[in-house]
A and B are shown apart, each in its own frame.
Chain A
Amino acid sequence: MEAQTLTYLFVGLSFALYIGIAVASRAKSTNEFYVAGKGVNPVANGMATAADWMSASSFLSMAGLIAFLGRDGSVYLMGWTGGYVLLALLLAPYLRKYGKYTVPDFIGERYYSNVARVVSVICLIFISFIYIAGQMRGVGIVFSRFLEVEIEMGVIIGMGIVFIYAVLGGMKGITYTQVAQYCVMIFAYLVPAIFLSIILTDNPFPQLGFGDKLLGSDIYLIDKLDKTLVDLGFAPYTEYSKSMIDVFCITAALMFGTCGLPHVIVRFFTVPDMQAARRSAGYALVFIAILYTTAPAVASFARLNFVDSVQNTFYEDAPSWFKNWENIGLISWTDKNQDGKMQYSPGSPFEGNKPNYSGDRGEFGQRLLTNMSDDSNTNEVYLDRDIIVLANPEIANLPVWVIALVAAGGLAAALSTTAGLLLVISSAISHDLLKQTFTPRISEKQELTFARIAAALTILLAGFLGIYPPAFVAQVVAFAFGLAASTLFPVLFMGIFSKKTTKEAAITGMIAGLVFTFSYIVFFKFISPELNSSEFWLLGISPEGIGVVGMAINFALMLIITRASNAPPQSVVSLVESIRRP
């Protein structure tokens, strides 16, 4: 069967599975809609958390990102896993013990203030919306690449699927579809990685093959990669090129941000008790680690393989995957020195960020560009980094069903994250804003209806942002972490570990963290992008890592203001004591 037909079949089957699960486990009460009745098995919740956590960009782009960043890519590997330690040790068990439905619920009650609750809802919606728009875009891109439908149509189909299972099923439906999505996603990721590892190093475990000798030679894969890149003029793969303080701060911002992300925290509200919450975070990290320890291996295999098959090769002899992806528009070749061979080195092959194809073919059959060639360097090859994961099955000469599997995996990754985000936004609106703050008299049934309406509206808005992405969406997704680290993490932490922190302290802390981090990012990314380099940064910290400074400001303000304001009431002190008790 053809790849296209198989892809339709795999994607169709996986969608049928998700909808089937959603119908079987639809929510009947607010308890089931918000927290899946608090009866989810810790292992199942771990899997659902992993699927929730790993988005389209973890699945499709992360290995490519690391392949081109080399050692600097470690910030994502450590940052996006280390947060689970903080979550399991510092937040998840206590928030589960507290036992309500949402993150703002805890903040509102612990800081005895509806203002604190509403401020935390604003932070939550801000963070989650930035994140969700990127996911819908990811759904659209996977559809358009594999199924050859327009991105717009892809987004609409994706919206339809998520609508059915998130609006009907609530947290209960989402949890069990996420379990299925995790299985699809991880299988799709591992199959090509294992084959690549066997081809290059004869070791079936990518994590070990990564540190092994190349097949039929005495040279370690990593040493070969370092040497090859240095010979071409690139920085060595295994050394940091960012400054140490920046690497440190970005890693920390991603870690603290991870454990302040509401859609991750709320997953731990669905398990039966504190012990289950802790174990569940451990299982979640195991499931995440399977992908996150494979990704850097795939990155190094792919980078080496790419250079080997491209450097000084006649275009006519290029492997077929090179030409396939050139046809799709993710690779281009500009023959600067007119020798018919491809040369790959640092620098941009042409002016502008993306290739614009003229529609004509050159003398060797390559697609010609309308971009002016950039003659300040000798690089002739353009490569979109998303290609690393997408092209793996072809590079490893795997059968077409593997390509279909990768498409289904990418969609599973995007849909599962979208659904999780959707749920926290809708519950923040129906539960925290309506039921707890503005219209406390609505019945449970009405609240459930509002939750469904809020989910439906959020999906429409997210879809709209996916179809008409504001130019900044893609750039901003990574900053959701900095915002989470500088707003929600400090108030949650102090809410548990200090009995004295007051509402005034929490409100000021959150607002200051949000304003500081947001302004710093907006200034360097949008207002004065020309100043976005280390000599102008505060202490040499890039906008990606500034969340840590925002977090420090938030903590400092909380400590100072707590001393200057009236102590919290006795009921709050007892609340903190009760969540600390086993």
Chain B
Amino acid sequence: MSFWQKNLVLLSSLLFFWFFCSFGLGILFSEQISFIKIGGFELGFWFSQQGSIYTFIIIIFSYSFLIEKLENEEKD
């Protein structure tokens, strides 16, 4: 695979997480997972008001780390 194709695979998998943790857990399946609780929070509520934001940060830094590795391989 070329560098660009590897990048596209990486992007799609990270965007899947982006979608899953915000639109998925926070909105679409929020009802179904509401029986799970962390402290006083129902899981779906926590994802929509806190968790999604933390996941977004993790996604950006993971992409940044992984793509830099790919870029360095590409340059060598």
Contacts and interface: CB of A to CB of B under 8 A. Distances in A.
Interface of A: 66, 71, 73-74, 77-78, 81-82, 84-86, 88-90, 207-208, 210-213, 220-223, 238, 240, 244, 247-248, 251-252, 275, 278-279, 281-282, 285-286, 289, 292-293, 296, 580-582
Contacts of A84: 56, 60
A292 B45 CA distance: 15
Contacts of B14: 85, 89
Interface string B1-35: 00110010001001100100011001110100000
Q: At the interface, is chain A mostly helix, strand, loop or mixed?
A: helix
Given A78-B22, A211-B39, A220-B39, A244 B61 contact: no
A85 B53 CA distance: 10
24 contacts: A66-B49, A71-B45, A78-B26, A81-B53, A81-B56, A84-B60, A85-B14, A88-B64, A221-B40, A222-B40, A222-B45, A240-B27, A244-B28, A248-B27, A248-B28, A278-B60, A279-B61, A282-B64, A285-B53, A293-B50, A293-B54, A296-B49, A296-B50, A582-B74
Contacts of B74: 582
Contacts of A78: 22, 26, 48, 52-53
A275 B74 CA distance: 14
User: Which of B26, B41, B54, B70 has the most chain A CB within a 10 Å cutoff?
Assistant: B26
Contact of A251 (B27, B39, B57): B27
Given A244-B27, A293-B53, A71 B60 contact: no
Contacts of A252: 23
B60 A282 contact: yes
A252 B4 CA distance: 26
Contact of B18 (A71, A85, A213, A281): A85
A228 to B, nearest CB: 14
Given A247-B27, A275-B71, 13 more contacts: A77-B53, A82-B22, A82-B52, A85-B15, A85-B59, A88-B63, A89-B59, A211-B41, A212-B39, A252-B23, A282-B61, A282-B64, A296-B49
Contacts of A220: 39-40
A77 B49 contact: yes
A275 to B, nearest CB: 6
A66 B56 CA distance: 20
